[in-house]
């Protein structure tokens, strides 16, 4: 069987000149700025123009560009090899920069697959990430004339391979602790405005599912969930990662910080966690600060994704769907039909 697996992610600018249009694409998304298009689009351009100089400074710290495409290509290659029983091709669809979703759709159409599996590289579902990517795929796939049977994996917050990869990375990073330091494990995820969650977005509940699965697997007693990357004046879910780092410093705790909603390295890990929060930790009196890598192409994670793909295909063959994983109160979970 010719199998196409479409990997979705946000994307990132590939040069300093791409920063402003990348931001404009991000804030033009109605899932990010929920307002009429005639207001949203000019506002998105204004926000992008205002934030571009700061964003360019951020990307300058990691070579002027995001590494997310290269990281995702490695994941795609590894996933193809992990599903040898089919003629498997993995395609990359980025939401806000190249390769865009319509480019992925054109490549899939040219491949002429017998089956398509849509696989977001967001373990936890949010309307602002997975929801937006899948909506765009539906639009451009129709334009590309794609008619192959298609199944969708919407989320995998406690997938065994994902949790195993995270746990292994945490254990590696925490190895050889300082004898004079007591450590706190911070599980950091990208934040969202509280109003997004209040509308029924299941993201926060699924982040908590990931954290619960990790806690069950690890032997850590001192563990906190926190949220990073806040922008704008709205109230966001918390506690904030920077506040948790300050609290750890005030209590004399060492910090092992693990990104649990990102599966590849990019500015929010390489700059925010590695540079900005490391500096904050030193200034806050944290005696030892260690950052856990993202799962990347760890064998456990790739095997978990391959398992999801196989289960997705089997669910069609058997006439069954995957189970719902978010709380019934999360009205915008895609399995309710209201996302």
Secondary structure E strands in 35-173: 87-94, 115-120, 150-152
Q: Is 268 annotated as a binding residue?
A: yes
| Structure-token match 């990430």, residue found | 129
Distances from the Cα of 59 to the Cα of 48, 118, 200, angstroms = 15, 29, 33
d(CA 327, CA 329): 5
The DSSP bridge partners found for residue 91 are 6
Element (H, E) at 49: helix 37-60
Q: Is 190 annotated as a binding residue?
A: yes
Q: Are strands 289-291 and 2-9 parallel, antiparallel or unpaired?
A: unpaired
Residues near 334 by beta carbon (within 8 Å), at least 6 away in sequence: 125, 130, 131, 134, 152, 154
Q: Are strands 223-228 and 2-9 parallel, antiparallel or unpaired?
A: unpaired
- Which residues participate in the annotated binding site for Fe(2+)? 190, 268
- Which residues participate in the annotated binding site? 190, 268
């Amino acid at each position: 069987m010719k199998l196409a697996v479409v990997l979705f992610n946000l994307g990132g600018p590939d040069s300093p000149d791409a920063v402003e249009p990348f931001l404009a694409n991000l804030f033009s998304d109605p899932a990010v700025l929920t307002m009429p298009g005639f207001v949203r689009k000019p506002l998105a351009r204004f926000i992008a123009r205002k934030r571009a100089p700061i964003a360019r400074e951020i990307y300058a710290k990691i070579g002027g560009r995001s590494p997310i495409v290269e990281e995702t290509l490695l994941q795609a290659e590894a996933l193809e090899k992990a599903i040898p029983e089919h003629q498997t091709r993995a395609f990359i669809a980025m939401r806000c920069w190249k390769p865009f979703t319509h480019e992925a759709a054109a490549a899939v159409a040219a491949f002429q697959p017998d089956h398509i599996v849509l696989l977001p590289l967001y373990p936890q579902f949010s309307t602002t990430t997975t929801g937006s990517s899948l909506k765009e795929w539906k639009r451009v796939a129709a334009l590309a004339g794609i008619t192959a049977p298609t199944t969708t994996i919407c989320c995998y917050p406690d997938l065994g391979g994902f949790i195993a990869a995270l746990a292994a990375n945490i254990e590696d990073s925490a190895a050889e602790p300082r004898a004079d330091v007591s450590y706190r494990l911070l599980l950091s995820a990208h934040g969202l405005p509280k109003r997004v969650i209040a509308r029924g977005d299941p993201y926060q509940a699924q982040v908590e599912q990931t954290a619960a699965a990790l806690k069950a697997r690890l032997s850590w007693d001192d563990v906190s969930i926190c949220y990073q990357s806040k922008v704008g004046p709205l109230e966001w879910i918390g506690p904030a990662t920077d506040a948790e780092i300050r609290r750890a410093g005030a209590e004399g705790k060492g910090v092992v910080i693990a990104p649990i909603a990102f599966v590849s390295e990019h500015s929010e890990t390489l700059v925010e966690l590695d540079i900005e929060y490391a500096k904050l930790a030193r200034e806050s009196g944290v005696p030892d600060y260690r950052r856990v890598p993202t799962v990347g192409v760890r064998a456990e994670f790739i095997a978990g994704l391959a398992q999801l793909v196989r289960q997705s295909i089997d669910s069609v063959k058997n006439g069954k769907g995957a189970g719902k994983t978010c709380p019934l109160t999360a009205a915008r979970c895609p399995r309710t039909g209201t996302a």
